[in-house]
Amino acid sequence: MEKLELVRREDGRLVMKAPNDKGEIVDSPVQIACCFPWSRGAEYISVRDDKGRELRLIEKLDMLETPQRRLVEEELSLRNFMPCVTSIDSITDELELFHWQVQTTVGPRGFLTNRGDYPRVLPNGHVLIKDVCNDQYVIPDPKKLDARSMKLLWVYLD
């Protein structure tokens, strides 16, 4: 695999150093994205330019040198930020929306879901909730919720 050189600029942007058409080394701002589900989060990572064009494909993160791997892992964690719901305080009906008040691993949160967008039970047993802003919340093990939270959630599960 050709060496990948990523650096974080002072402004916080991740850039890839690579030769341009003239052979000059230039900094190209990049985005990092998983090509496969999170269950294979360390494989097939796409390095893309600002227009979404793939510049490189990383087959396995462990093929990268440690500093490069850490930068990619940082970017993925920022991009894939998904709070875990630890309890549900309330779910109220507001016209065509449901208003959720929950406790998460990053503190209390309130969000709205469309009436038809019910939480999904994933094959691994996790429950995924997507709000109207396309932010996602996960309940890793619904059986560990307190009785009140489980009673509120149960109504919305298939």
Dihedral sign of CA atoms 134, 135, 139, 145 in order: negative
71 & 128 share domain: no
Q: Are residues 32 and 67 in the same domain?
A: yes
The reply to whether 131 and 109 lie within a common domain is yes
- Does 108 lie in the same domain as 64? no
For the cut 70, the answer to whether the pLDDT of residue 122 exceeds it is: yes
Would you say residue 94 lies in a domain?
yes
Contact 73, 60 (CB under 8 A): no
**pLDDT above 90 (res 81):** no
**50, 101: one domain:** no
Q: How does pLDDT run across 25-47, given as a tens digit for each residue?
A: 999 999 998 886 656 778 889 99
Domain for residue 1, yes or no?
Answer: no
Q: Which of 57, 79, 101 delimits the end of a domain?
A: 79
Distances (CA, A) of 115 to 98, 126, 128, 146, 154: 6, 21, 15, 24, 15
Average pLDDT, the chain: 89
Answer whether residue 102 is part of any domain. Answer: yes
- Mean pLDDT over 108-133 rounds to 92
Do residues 74 and 82 make contact, with C-beta atoms less than 8 angstroms apart? no
Q: Which domain holds residue 57?
A: 6-79
Q: Which of 92-96, 97-101, 137-141 has the lowest mean pLDDT?
A: 92-96
Binning the chain into helix, strand and coil, the percentages to the nearest 5 are 20, 45, 35
- Are residue 72 and residue 103 in the same domain, yes or no? no
Let me know whether 145 and 98 are in one domain: yes
pLDDT band at 106 (very low <50, low <70, confident <90, very high): confident
Asked if residue 91 is part of any domain, the answer here is yes
Where among 63, 79, 95 does a domain terminate? 79
**Range of lowest pLDDT (2-11, 58-67, 84-93, 110-119):** 2-11
Task: Please state the domain count of the chain.
Answer: 2
Averaged over 140-156, what is the pLDDT? 95
Question: Among 47, 79, 111, where does a domain finish?
Answer: 79
C-alpha to C-alpha distances, 86 to 17, 72, 105, 141, nearest whole angstrom:
41, 28, 7, 9
